[in-house]
Structure 1
Amino acid sequence: MIHSPERPLRPRPGRARARCAAQSALRRAAYVGLAALSLAASTCAPPLQNGSVVVSSGAAERLGMLCRWGHGGGEQGELCPAAEGAARPARVRRITAPADALTGPLAVGRPGDYVLENDEIAVVVEQLGPGTGLAESGGHLIDAADARARRDELGQLVPRLGAPPRQVIYRDITTGAGEGGAAWIEARGEVRGRELAGGALSVTTRYTLGPRDRAVVLTTSLRNDGDRPVEALDLGDVVHWGGAEHVAPGMGPGLRGEHEAPYVAGIGSDVAYVLAPTDGATMRTRSGAGFSDATFARQAALPPGGRVEYQRLLAVAPRGDSLAAATELFFLAGGAPGGVALELVDARGAPLRPIAGKATLTPIAEEGAAPATGALDLWLRTGEGEPLAAEAPPGLYLVGFEGSGRRALGSARVRIRAGEIAPARLTLSGAGRLDVRVQERGASAPVEDEDLSVPLTPAKVNLFDATTGRAVSPPHFTLTGELQLSLPPGRIRVVASRGPEYALAEATVDVADGTRSQIDLTLERVVDTSGYIACDLRQHTAQSADAGVDAAARIVSNVVEGVECAVTSDHNLAADLRRDVTSLRLEAQLRMLPGVELTSGRSGAGIGSLSVFPLGAEAAAPREGALRWVDETAGEILREVRALPGERVVQVSRHHGGGSPLHASGSPPSGPDQRAPPSAPDQGPSLLAQIVGDGAGVDAVEVWTGREGAARDRALEELWALLRASRPVTPTATSDTHGLHGAEAGYPRTYIAVAGDDPGRLDVGDLVAGLRRRRDVVITNGPFVTMRLGDTRQGGVASTRRGSRGGPLSLTIRVERAPWVDARELHVLVGGVATGAPIPLEGARTTAAGALLDEIAIPVVLGAGRKPSHVAAAGEPRPGKSAPRALFLAEDTFVVAIVRGHRPLEPVLAGEPDEILPFAMTAPLWIDADGDGRSLGRAAAP
């Protein structure tokens, strides 16, 4: 971390005003690793309408290298020339044409939205009406960018109030100008609901921007208009980072869980964002995939008529790296930055042209200073004349570099002083060239190329240092089967994969400086999944506020992982990627289904998220959401879905950011229209239990999301309870991927039994019927497990009506997996209860294709009279026998087979070992033991 003396914000004449009385008490709290961010006092005066915090100006005080990046025109080593005359005032306007909006795949501003801008940054506040992404109304900040580049990479920022969190529904928006050239947008609305225990909150949020500020100040004021006090009210924001990767001081990308920090930042490719309280205090933050939930004030209490206010800023840095974010906040706090200029040379000392890569500035603790705990990254882009330089907070650093196939052979020690540029000379390694070609045995070429002598195939390629095992780079995706890579010299292990149905193809190659090497790898599809299609039923693109993956990247990420069918389920809008699949000429390999994830933070949906797919013409206005959802109950949403033409799958997913989807009411509701807040699993019957079942209710329940193994195991216990209560439902697994790495498409996935498993000829109606009625699925991240009892497959109903009463049947379980996928134990559950010790799996034989295979046969007797209990243990073999003991099933129940592995899914996936352990499960197989033609709400086939 960077330590420097505490500095207050610098007031500017004509703008800085202190609040009177209690508002004039200034809180000064030092940032950990940054200069203090505190309020500046002036003479006592009425509060300004542009907010109480003065944010230091930007362009006229930046260093020379930042000037050359479009913020002035000085030479290296000189400060930017002062601006001539007064800065242009900040301004507010409405978008009237596309040219008025910001650009980029995350930009969602449209005609009618409000742009608040100056000559430094621009932000967009959404007009009144239905909200974008996870916002339930307009009035929220949805785009932000540098004023010159105008490229937005932010999702949205939504105030979050209370616990459970609630959003504001804004009803009115006004705009105006403040003193000193500031401009503002003010949104007014309300929060109501039984969670407030009789209180009713009116809420006002003001967005204020000064003429030269690179930060917009957000001030949210609440008033209790009810007749009862509102207690324990947490005040904060949920920021959905969109295309920006969220970080915090001392913590790397991909934040997860709870943490405290002075700020949280989102790092995009061309811009960085910083969310911080204006008083310099630390804030408590809970982060997950694509979002951060920041709390600025906890347990606020408002008596009737009482008021409370909280204030924070969103800064927009002109570069996309963590150094830019930290420097921007340092500058806003009144700090005077310095700079670092890199000179890159080869091993002979000859200068290298500017190259793309990442420079890392690691702070060094000095005597009397705070300990250094985190590094800051500076991403360098190539371009003629582009300097390898950037501003930085003063301090002592070690500077390193890697990129473009080169790495620093050592580090440079530099001291950065305010107003000066410190040179850092780095010697880089050479670079070699590696060409990789991946083919599939027996496959046809995915692209037409008469020069190809082998059929190339899409693949994911991982590179590792053969000596240390460390990943050399993030995985590489190729649609054409070819990659041309620049790498530093060394021995490299190259691993090609295409999902769990394929064996790995790998080789080790020596990369030498200045040489070109080539390797050819052959993938083989070894696992037999005939009759099933591999689907990922919940994914997100850049059209979701909390995801930053464009359409092409999302499609490619599916194809290289062997996903054959995927549902695009962006938040509260319907994205259709079918044309993108066609443009990439991948129709034969991937079927994309348009869908929508209806996600509510209010009490309306009552169960967190509902995914609906496939959608068609009814998704013509995606910005409005394909379906109504704000303030609607689950029952109302279901009726609207079922009224659509054609047949749809409704899938219940976990609450956004965690939580079980299976419990959603605080007390037993009286019907599916009962509005109720979420609750813990032990608070009685769930609302979901009243809206699932064949026909008009929910069809599928997502019991496994991404890498959440512990949550999966809890959800399964709840699923068993649901099934025992005669609420038949299809279990599903989805990646819920919002990115590319660490949440890969198809891990986990749902295999769905269909009549034709060719994705290019997939009958979507048959797939829908498979999920809604046949319920024959396999959920897995690796092993492929199927089960049948006699002639009845998983998902069906085995009945004694067909002459099996009292007679022996065989429960046959088949477990197949690629050699790199571990599968050690088979668990057989009856009614959700394990029947004994797990059955060991050993890969007893190898199929002709090369898969490892175990087949387990368990004798089953249906009907009453054979055993006093409805089930006997199956997992404990008889003495001297290898076969499991028989199952005696005297009551209606269900059987499930679960496979677990002990070895993580490396090298295809990387992460915490317990997050990537192999797991697979069959759909339930319902048992009609009494022969009445039904079992736990499921009817046996005629």
Structure 2
Amino acid sequence: MIRSPERPLRPAAVRGRRPGPGGLAALALACATCAPPAQNGSVVVSSGAAERLGMLCRWGHGDAEQGELCPRADGAARPARVRRIAGPADALSGPLAAGRPGDHVLENDEIAVVVEQLGPGSGLAESGGHVIDAADARARRDELGQIVARLGAPARQAVYSELATGAGEDGAAWIEVRGRGGAGGALSVTTRYTLGPRDRALVIATSIQNDGGAPIEGLDLGDVVHWGAAAPIAPIAPASAPGSRGEREAPYVAGVGTGVAYALAAADGAPLRARSGAGFSDATFARPAPLPPGGRAAYQRVLAVAPRGDPLAVATELFFLGGGAPGGVAIELVDARGAPLPPLAGKVTLTPIAEGGVAPAGGAAPAGGAAPAGGVAPAGGAIDLWLRATAGGGPLGAEAPPGLYEVGFEGSGRRALGSARVKIRAGEVAPARLALSGAGRLALSVRERVGPAPAAGPAPASGPALPGRPTPAKISLFDATTGRAAAPPLFTLSGDLEIPLPPGQHRVVASRGPEFSIAEATVDIAEGGEARIELAIARVVDTSGHVACDLRQHTARSADAGASAAARVASSAVEGVECAVASEHHLVADLAPAVAELKLGGRLRTIPGDELTSARGGAGLGSVSVFPLDPAAPVAGALRWRDQTAGALLGEVRALPGERVLQVSRASGGGSPLHALEAPRGAPDLRADLAALVGDGAGIDALEVWTGREIAARDRALEELWGLLRASRPVTPTATSDTHGLLGAEPGYPRTYVGVADDDPGRLDVADLVAGLRRRRDVVITNGPFVTMRLGEARQGGVASARRGARGETLSLSIRVERAPWVDARELHVLVGGVANRAPIPLDGARTTPAGALVDEIAIPVIVGAGGGRPPPRLGARDGGGLGASRSGQSAHGAIAVAEDTFVVAIVRGRRPLEPVLAGAPDEILPFAMTAPLWIDADGDGRSLGRAAAP
């Protein structure tokens, strides 16, 4: 918890004057008598707030004069104000800044937020009236995506149609928006954004009323935060842990950018329920009982804007808002001889240390106890202060909750020589001095070996003159003693890289996706020294005739992603992605200029697309990707989606000139909306609408069955896929990374290999790729192994037909599994009609290709047309083998007997995670690969389950 319930979490009323210049000592003296917070109604008032140490001005804004800790402020604080953006000078800057003329800026001298004007919303918002930008008032650099009010489960947005502004006598200013929300728009919704004259937090208050004639249930009241360029941090794990995926109870949700950080918490300090994923957090603040006709409900929360981009800034700001009195720390970094060091980029860690068995404020609560009042509890982990190289010198400073801390440092190729402890007290600046080692450096060269592997085995990791050509690569670094990651992975497009590394022994791994071998070496870095190594990787897996595609990626153009176009392109290239679809939310973006600028045109082809996301009663399709599209007009080029039915959306896509792929990704809450087709009851309108949209080449083309690391969702989606196929509704299965960041959701994991006539990315025919997904359906989805399949002359995605009138014809099902040596593949599962017909077939990679890949080849006899047939089961029928299971596929003497039209799929599984190339939960990075279905026409009529055989 942030603090005890009797002390609400609110922006403090700030009184008095800020201190003038005078140095740390003078400041500490001025604050030594700061009074503790006092309760005043529902607002926490801190009488010493004018002198609060830290990020408000002294260290957060980086005054030009090094001796000046805080700009002089004369007189009372200026009132907060509201104005409309008239031109670029009025808007905020930054990678995610979306404010445009007509939007409203609500600001004081500390922070500025932008509320979008009424009308169609940007990003994932269905209307204006939501927060789209937030920044420190001086830096004015936004890194937030947007915050959208969410009502109900499944989530439905508040859609606003009225807006008013005003100011209060206390110097506060506000923006109020009104609209409707909930199922059928039965709720009237009012949201007010209020900012005080010196607050660093925006108060957001939302009230709803049931205007309908029946009670409304399932009213989870909250917000969906799209973090944009800010990385979500986990509040109840160590505060520096990246990401916060999953659902949990938490005191707040937070995101950290490079120069600003954000936290969203309940105004009363109560815990919230948070569901987080890549780039977003879905926070529920209240779950009222069913709302009767005329009934009302309300919830209030605060958005804190911290002027530094690190977890300590978040922890301290929330500590202060909760009524705590922070202290300060001034850290001096010196070398081994005690000489001051110039500004360094890196990470200072403050790890709370229990005093006498009691956790300090800002640290973990003791076992069985509660968090200290006004404290932030990062579960005993370190609170990080991230440093970026800046001009000037002098000590580093920051606010921090009071307590005893151990100080550490990582970065700039240095390590701490011992440790330091610091005791931080409220209203005082505590000095800390930390000695660092000399800076180490690694000069690295990565080359791609061309030709067969050496007879003695893989190419050596290093040598005096390594043959081959420069290649893009990802470099993973580990401490050779502990095995822990020493730094986030690095990218090189040229093959050459210089890396600052602290003294010690390091394991260095070069990779370029699952088609390539990896190369690694262990290197010793001396203090202040430099080491040089060369690594050789090689393309070992033969994927001829297929191009490696990631069919859903995001950049900072999406509200919930933070990667720049250049970073996205580079990250795709180093993972061996050859074709990438830019599927921004409700706009069309073109990554081709970034490809050209980075000189990757021969390695990577990008395709502009559009991801439409809606949970309203119209399309009801959740997330749908459409590509290729024209990027000439980024917003106008996007498709209409609000209040569109599935049929109208498909009609708009098919009316465009040329061919487009329509890929259904998932519905809100997981899974595909196509599950509505399976339900014998419920959603009849949606079922009828969708039923006409799934057919061979006429409707929805592809079903994304695997998204990133969502393994449980993949298993559910595969069951939906089997049901569709058994019901004669053919679709192409696809896998995408849906990457929004750079770590933990790497491009191409998983990926979709699409069969094309020319697999050279530099010459890729996009029309041929579209035809491969829409009609040939020849795909392989994988995060590692490459598996292909043939039955007679047909391969995955095609139709194998028995001779007309033939009974008991035997064909050979040939399955080939190929993998790089670092990729594990242990089991082959053969599914007929979506049901495994036998025990898994063990794989051992017994054969090695000249290039160095491990190969298994399996041949299984298939007896086609044996016995009489029966009509395929309709979707939704259940007969013991799974949803709509077919009785075809019984095994006899090692053969598969097929008596009726069906389909066969090959799935490969590995038992060893994809380390060291990927990091994360082991079950999420286990190797998995699957072919597209291969349809079997058992009666020889040229069709199978709605799929026509090739002429």
TM-score (norm 2): 0.88
Tell me the alpha carbon deviations over residues 857-885 of structure 1, each in whole angstroms, 9 at most, x when there is no partner.
111221133999964555x8x6xxxxxx1
> Which residue matches 1:894?
903
CA contact (8 A) 2:615 2:621 kept: no
Q: CA deviation at 1:512?
A: 0.9
Given candidates 298, 304, 309, the residue that maps to 2:293 is 304
Q: CA deviation at 1:941?
A: 1.4
Distance in 2, Cα, partners of 1:663 & 1:629: 21
> Which residue matches 1:840?
842
> Which residue matches 1:391?
399
Is 1:250 aligned to residue 250 of structure 2?
no
> Which residue matches 1:354?
343
Letter aligned with residue 346 of structure 1: D
Distance in 1, Cα, partners of 2:852 & 2:410: 40
Given candidates 412, 417, 423, the residue that maps to 1:404 is 412
CA separation of 1:272/1:666 partners in 2, compared to 1, >3 Å: closer, same or farther? farther
Given candidates 636, 648, 651, the residue that maps to 1:639 is 651
> Which residue matches 1:175?
165
Q: CA deviation at 1:826?
A: 0.8
Given candidates 277, 291, 315, the residue that maps to 2:266 is 277
Tell me the alpha carbon deviations over residues 328-348 of structure 1, each in whole angstroms, 9 at most, x when there is no partner.
122223432211111222333
Given candidates 882, 891, 916, the residue that maps to 2:925 is 916
Q: CA deviation at 1:659?
A: 3.2
Is 1:556 aligned to residue 570 of structure 2?
yes
> Which residue matches 1:211?
197
Map residues 849-888 of structure 1 onto 2, 5 A cutoff: 849-865=851-867, 871=888, 873-874=890-891, 885-888=894-897
Is 1:743 aligned to residue 733 of structure 2?
no
> Which residue matches 1:235?
221
CA contact (8 A) 1:654 1:660 kept: yes
CA contact (8 A) 1:341 1:424 kept: yes
> Which residue matches 1:436?
444
CA separation of 1:930/1:666 partners in 2, compared to 1, >3 Å: closer, same or farther? closer
CA contact (8 A) 1:933 1:939 kept: yes
Tell me the alpha carbon deviations over residues 32-74 of structure 1, each in whole angstroms, 9 at most, x when there is no partner.
xxx9999741xxxxxxxxxx75787999434377634465979
Tell me the alpha carbon deviations over residues 417-474 of structure 1, each in whole angstroms, 9 at most, x when there is no partner.
122111112222333211000111239xxxxxxx999621100011112222211111
> Which residue matches 2:532?
518
Map residues 651-690 of structure 1 onto 2, 5 A cutoff: 651-656=663-668, 658-664=670-676, 688-690=690-692
Distance in 1, Cα, partners of 2:757 & 2:339: 65
Tell me the alpha carbon deviations over residues 757-803 of structure 1, each in whole angstroms, 9 at most, x when there is no partner.
01111110000000000000000001111111111111111112379
CA separation of 1:511/1:656 partners in 2, compared to 1, >3 Å: closer, same or farther? farther
Given candidates 421, 427, 433, the residue that maps to 2:435 is 427
> Which residue matches 2:608?
594
Letter aligned with residue 225 of structure 2: V
Distance in 2, Cα, partners of 1:566 & 1:512: 41
Q: CA deviation at 1:590?
A: 0.5
Letter aligned with residue 392 of structure 2: G
Distance in 2, Cα, partners of 1:923 & 1:405: 47
Given candidates 479, 483, 496, the residue that maps to 2:493 is 479
Distance in 1, Cα, partners of 2:865 & 2:242: 57
Calculate percent identity across the aligned residue pairs: 75
Tell me the alpha carbon deviations over residues 184-218 of structure 1, each in whole angstroms, 9 at most, x when there is no partner.
11111001535xxxx82111111111111111111
- Secondary structure (helix, strand or coil) at the match of 1:150 reads coil
> Which residue matches 2:354?
365
CA separation of 1:64/1:580 partners in 2, compared to 1, >3 Å: closer, same or farther? closer
Is 1:649 aligned to residue 635 of structure 2?
no
> Which residue matches 2:723?
721
Tell me the alpha carbon deviations over residues 327-368 of structure 1, each in whole angstroms, 9 at most, x when there is no partner.
112222343221111122233333322211111111223355
Distance in 2, Cα, partners of 1:382 & 1:11: 32
Distance in 2, Cα, partners of 1:247 & 1:686: 42
Letter aligned with residue 895 of structure 2: A
Structure 2 residue ranges without an equivalent (≥5): 17-34, 360-364, 367-378, 452-464, 871-885
CA contact (8 A) 2:2 2:319 kept: no
Q: CA deviation at 1:655?
A: 2.7
- Secondary structure (helix, strand or coil) at the match of 1:898 reads strand
Distance in 2, Cα, partners of 1:157 & 1:463: 36
- Secondary structure (helix, strand or coil) at the match of 1:910 reads coil
- Secondary structure (helix, strand or coil) at the match of 2:477 reads strand
Map residues 747-826 of structure 1 onto 2, 5 A cutoff: 747-801=749-803, 805-826=807-828
CA separation of 1:59/1:115 partners in 2, compared to 1, >3 Å: closer, same or farther? farther
Tell me the alpha carbon deviations over residues 607-656 of structure 1, each in whole angstroms, 9 at most, x when there is no partner.
2111000101xx44434670111111111111111111111000000235
CA contact (8 A) 1:10 1:56 kept: no
- Secondary structure (helix, strand or coil) at the match of 2:170 reads helix
> Which residue matches 2:876?
none
Q: CA deviation at 1:744?
A: 0.6
CA separation of 1:224/1:872 partners in 2, compared to 1, >3 Å: closer, same or farther? closer
Distance in 2, Cα, partners of 1:867 & 1:7: 72
Tell me the alpha carbon deviations over residues 704-754 of structure 1, each in whole angstroms, 9 at most, x when there is no partner.
111122221221122111100000010001111111111110000000000
Distance in 2, Cα, partners of 1:38 & 1:899: 63
Q: CA deviation at 1:112?
A: 1.3
Letter aligned with residue 215 of structure 1: A
CA separation of 1:886/1:11 partners in 2, compared to 1, >3 Å: closer, same or farther? closer
CA separation of 1:78/1:549 partners in 2, compared to 1, >3 Å: closer, same or farther? closer
> Which residue matches 2:370?
none
Distance in 2, Cα, partners of 1:819 & 1:192: 53
Q: CA deviation at 1:14?
A: 11
Distance in 1, Cα, partners of 2:2 & 2:126: 39
> Which residue matches 2:307?
318
Distance in 1, Cα, partners of 2:222 & 2:677: 24
Q: CA deviation at 1:664?
A: 4.0
CA contact (8 A) 2:755 2:778 kept: yes
- Secondary structure (helix, strand or coil) at the match of 1:542 reads coil
CA separation of 1:54/1:640 partners in 2, compared to 1, >3 Å: closer, same or farther? farther
> Which residue matches 2:94?
104
Corresponding pairs, count: 882
Given candidates 730, 733, 746, the residue that maps to 1:731 is 733
CA contact (8 A) 2:801 2:937 kept: yes
Distance in 2, Cα, partners of 1:811 & 1:492: 47
Distance in 2, Cα, partners of 1:56 & 1:74: 29
Structure 1 residue ranges without an equivalent (≥5): 16-34, 42-51, 444-450, 677-684, 879-884
Is 1:295 aligned to residue 302 of structure 2?
no
CA contact (8 A) 2:326 2:427 kept: yes
Q: CA deviation at 1:393?
A: 1.5
Distance in 1, Cα, partners of 2:39 & 2:553: 43
Tell me the alpha carbon deviations over residues 135-154 of structure 1, each in whole angstroms, 9 at most, x when there is no partner.
11111000000111111111
Distance in 1, Cα, partners of 2:119 & 2:48: 34
Given candidates 318, 324, 328, the residue that maps to 2:317 is 328
Question: Which shows bigger deviation, 476-485 or 91-100?
Answer: 91-100
Is 1:629 aligned to residue 641 of structure 2?
yes
Letter aligned with residue 705 of structure 2: V
